[in-house]
Amino acid sequence: MNRRVVVTGMGAVTPVGNTVEEAWNNLKAGVSGIAPITNFDTSDFDINFAGEVKNFDASALFGKKEARRLDRYTHFAMESSRQAIEDSGLLKNGTDRSRVGMVIGSCVGGLSSVLEQHEVLQSKGPSRVNPFTISMMLPDTAPARIAIDYNLTGPNMAVVTACATGTDTIGEAFEIIRRGDADAIIAGGSEAVINPLILASFQVMKALSPNNENPAGACRPFDLNRDGFVMSEGSVVLVLEELEHAQKRRANILAEVIGYGTCVEAYHLAAPREDGLGAITAMSRAIAKAGIEPSEIDYINTHGTGTRLNDKVETLAIKDVLGEHAYDTIITSSKSMTGHLFGAAGAIEAMVCVKTLTDGIISPTINYETPDPECDLDCTPNEARHADVSVAMSNSFGLGGHNATILFRKYNEG
């Protein structure tokens, strides 16, 4: 059974806006969400900036009692899911909720809550630890909690594939619907990683851009002088739905999901293969599953972290898969504006692909100044442009060698 799968709703809580409309408008305008960290004191750190979600009050949204029982990553997921469900109209008019599921991923789940409660344990003793600590920390709390809110008893899971998580959640949701195990899946990623331990860990790895003087200009994907990625947080969720199910309820169909490829390189925990084999495999599998030719791809939202090795390897892989057509394909890196949302990165980049298909606008790769001969594709430098895009690809690659690619097509009723 290979049923067609479409996107019927989206929701977003991000450093560039707390709704899809706000985030997309800022991305089109080339607005960066990167700024000095306000969540904690960074005076002991070499790096003091990140992509924080702004103007987000969990207590106002969920009540003080409920907010204290859940980690920030779950707060983000609950709000982005609420937006997506409302946008889709999925749960109106008697939808069978046993056929609606959740696939929400996160790299580290409620790690920030673990760190906070460890401090409580050390300073005040075991009796003062929050009794909800276990559920606060688990990566599956977000999909489980949202299912409770809406009484959704279909397939429910958390995906963890490092920075490929957001793309794998959408891909696995696509497969669940495609094979007939659900009629709709709320899918995406959520991450709240801006805490002292994570910042310190990436700082000593020397993976982050050190550009404290200009945080908004720090992430420079595909630029010759790129010097690292920028940490970020947030959540984006898409509602995926079987085509006939969406048509019967007269849903507003935004795009069609047509292909998904995933693999692991089995090579290194922190670095990609320099020949790009993992990325090549994921892209090739997605294209094969979609039943299209590489020459049909119009646009790629790249993983594009702004690190020396990632951007070089991804460019090499795209050229391997697309051949000469790579030079006619428009690419961008949303991370130049959003930073790296880790487990939610693939989800926000999927949102960008869908908006690109519906609006015919390519959001830019900002902070691009000096061309790199090894990254010689059209990365849409600094300014948005209009383009008629029929097929869009999104790539995500993660620590551990995880690689995932998802393909979207402009929806045609015929």
Report, as residue numbers or ranges, the catalytic residues. Answer: 163, 303, 340
Partners of 361 in the β-ladder = 386
CA distance 223 to 343: 24
Query: Per-residue DSSP letters for 178-245?
Result: HTTS-SEEEEEEEE---SHHHHHHHHHHT-B---TT-GGG---TTBTT---B-BB-EEEEEEEEEHHH
- Cα angle 89, 349, 207 (rounded to 5 degrees) comes to 145
Q: Which residues contact 265 (CB under 8 A, 6 or more apart)?
A: 272, 273, 277, 278, 401, 403
Q: Which residues contact 312 (CB under 8 A, 6 or more apart)?
A: 372, 374, 375
Number of neighbours of residue 151 by Cβ within 10 angstroms: 10
For β-strands 402-409 and 255-264, DSSP reports them as antiparallel
CA distance 251 to 253: 6
CA distance 191 to 55: 16
Element (H, E) at 407: strand 402-409
Identity of residue 266: A
Q: Which residues contact 284 (CB under 8 A, 6 or more apart)?
A: 261, 321
Kindly report the backbone phi and psi dihedral angles of residue 215, in degrees, each rounded to the nearest multiple of 5, phi listed first: -55, -40
